[in-house]
């Protein structure tokens, strides 16, 4: 039976460390402020943004919300971002994705100043991650790394299989595992022998957005299983990409949904915002 990796508890430890850092900065008269931009009425985005603001309150980071209506034009959003780029009070800028149709996410991301890009989505930051010389780690992959480290399982030399190749999770996750000297395989929708590849994973990361994609027959005995999925079932319940009930019988460690990766994403965002404030005040 797998040990459950408690993302809520681990994220709280991270946030408490961040809180201490914020206090130290305050003593040096440096305040930390995150601008949170949300466009439209996506209910899931509203929940995420509220959780991010709550985390800011907890650690002592000031948060400024910019809630724009669904019909906001791309130019209006870009103008706001440019204003926030210039604003010395603002250390980090987070534009909650997805954006309404008609707004080009790529254009929005590349308009955010790389130094304020606390999501690490900008090409400059992505490139820095690729070469292993970065200020910001992408929030969800960095949170997953903390969860894996919490198990005490050594990463070096292990076979790590990442299912999903998104810019937000799959690709950067693979890179972070590679930096830790894992042997990394990336699987995706065109992978032919997904089950067989997954069966060889010592560390398995599911980041696809497909409920219960990973079943027990795909998991090696004792593997570390990290579930990045966050899927809403027709009955309203949240579930991950991993069939938790059956996989927990086989895995060595497993993250629950909710209460696994999600809280870690937010904790890393808090870390990145403090890093931004430090870099900007150097």
119 is catalytic: yes
Note whether 34 and 118 are within 8 A (CB).
Answer: yes
The region that residue 195 occupies, defined by phi over 0 for left and psi between -120 and 50 for alpha, beta otherwise, is alpha
Nearest CB to ligand GUN, comparing residues 172 and 252: 172
- Which residue lies nearest ligand GUN, judged by its C-beta? 97
Note whether 71 and 253 are within 8 A (CB).
Answer: no
Nearest CB to ligand GUN, comparing residues 91 and 248: 91
Site string for ligand GUN, 145-184 (x = CB under 6 A): -----------------------x----------------
- Tally the C-alpha atoms within 13 A of residue 205's C-alpha that lie toward its C-beta: 31
Radius of gyration, CA atoms only, the chain:
19
- Among positions 139, 142, 144, 175, the unique one binding ligand GUN when judged by CB under 6 A: 139
The residue range among 58-66, 80-88, 89-97, 271-279 that interacts with ligand GUN, by the rule CB under 6 A, is 89-97
Cβ of residue 266: shortest distance to ligand GUN, in angstroms? 9
> What is the helix (H) or strand (E) element at residue 207, kind and residue range?
none
Query: Which residues ranging from 94 to 133 are in contact with ligand GUN (CB under 6 A)?
Result: 94-97, 119
d(CA 146, CA 139): 11
Nearest CB to ligand GUN, comparing residues 97 and 216: 97
Nearest CB to ligand GUN, comparing residues 35 and 186: 35
Cβ of residue 113: shortest distance to ligand GUN, in angstroms? 15
d(CA 176, CA 169): 10
- Tally the C-alpha atoms within 13 A of residue 3's C-alpha that lie toward its C-beta: 14
Nearest CB to ligand GUN, comparing residues 148 and 264: 264
Backbone angles phi, psi at 73, to 5 degrees: -85, 160
96 is catalytic: yes
Cβ of residue 265: shortest distance to ligand GUN, in angstroms? 6
| DSSP string across 137-181 | --HHHHHHHHHHHHTT---TT-EEEEE---TTTHHHHHHHHHHTT
Cβ of residue 30: shortest distance to ligand GUN, in angstroms? 24
Burial (CB < 10 A; 0-12, 13-18, 19+), residue 59, is: buried
- Residue among 115, 116, 117, 119 flagged as catalytic: 119
Cβ of residue 202: shortest distance to ligand GUN, in angstroms? 26
> Is residue 140 a contact residue for ligand GUN (CB under 6 A)?
yes
Binding site for ligand GUN (CB under 6 A): 94-97, 119, 139-140, 168, 265
The residues carrying an active-site annotation are: 52, 96, 119
């Amino acid at each position: 039976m797998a040990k459950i990796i408690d993302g809520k508890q681990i994220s709280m430890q991270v946030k408490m460390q961040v809180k201490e850092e914020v206090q130290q900065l305050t003593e040096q008269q440096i305040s930390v402020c995150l601008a949170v931009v949300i466009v439209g009425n996506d209910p899931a985005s509203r929940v995420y943004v509220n959780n991010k603001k709550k985390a800011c309150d907890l650690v002592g980071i000031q948060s400024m919300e910019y809630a724009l209506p669904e019909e906001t034009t791309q130019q209006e959003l870009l103008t706001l971002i440019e204003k926030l780029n210039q604003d010395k009070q603002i250390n980090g800028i987070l534009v909650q994705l997805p954006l309404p149709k008609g707004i080009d996410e790529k254009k929005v991301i590349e308009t955010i100043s790389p130094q304020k890009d606390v999501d690490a989505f900008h090409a400059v930051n992505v490139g820095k991650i690729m070469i292993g010389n970065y200020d910001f780690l992408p929030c969800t992959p960095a949170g997953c790394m903390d969860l894996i480290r919490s198990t005490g399982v050594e990463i070096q030399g292990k076979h790590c299989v990442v299912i999903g190749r998104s810019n937000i999770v799959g690709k950067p996750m693979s890179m972070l595992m590679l930096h830790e000297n894992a042997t990394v395989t990336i699987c995706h929708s065109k992978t032919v022998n997904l089950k067989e590849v997954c069966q060889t994973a010592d560390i398995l990361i599911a980041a696809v957005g497909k409920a219960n994609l990973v079943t027990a027959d795909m998991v090696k005995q004792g593997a570390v299983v990290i579930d990045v999925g966050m899927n809403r079932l027709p009955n309203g319940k949240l579930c991950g990409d991993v069939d938790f009930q059956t996989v927990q019988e086989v895995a060595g460690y497993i993250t629950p949904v909710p209460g696994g990766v999600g809280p870690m994403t937010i904790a890393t965002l808090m870390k990145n915002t403090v890093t931004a404030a430090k870099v900007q005040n150097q």
